[in-house]
Amino acid sequence: MGDFSDKVYDITSRIPRGKVASYGQIARLIGQPRKSRFVGFAMHSNPHPGTGPEDIPCHRVVFKDGALCEGYVFGGPNEQKKMLEAEGVIFVDDTHVDMEKCQWNGRDGIEEDGSLPVMPPADFDWKAELGEDL
């Protein structure tokens, strides 16, 4: 895999059981805030999906509103929900994770040496990056 995908997989591997992260959140954590779609491409190409110690738990990555991927690649559209429910993730309806209760803070498992950013710099312009009103 390329450097981008390796960083995505590293961050995704740090998402604890019972928590989820959004595609955009992962993109921000690797310092590429405008590349959430590329995070999705990396998830689609995950060489080791699953929950084992060597696996990359791509099922823990959801849309920013908590929506599941309609075409979850690794076992069909209902498999992602089943895997998340088995880990204790709470849903607000059939297709949306309760992001308020289950979104990973992005800090657990990140090394203190700063090897990966845990948040954008203080002068980061969210409006320019996201192209939307906040």
Please tell me which residue in 20, 27, 42, 58 is annotated as part of the active site.
Answer: 58
State the Cα–Cα distance between residues 121 and 33, nearest whole angstrom: 11
Per the annotation, the verdict on 58 as an active-site residue is: yes
Strand pairing of 21-22 and 61-62?
parallel
Amino acid at 38: F
The residues, any chain, with a CB within 8 Å of residue 86's CB and separated by 6 or more, are: none
Catalytic sites, residue numbers:
58
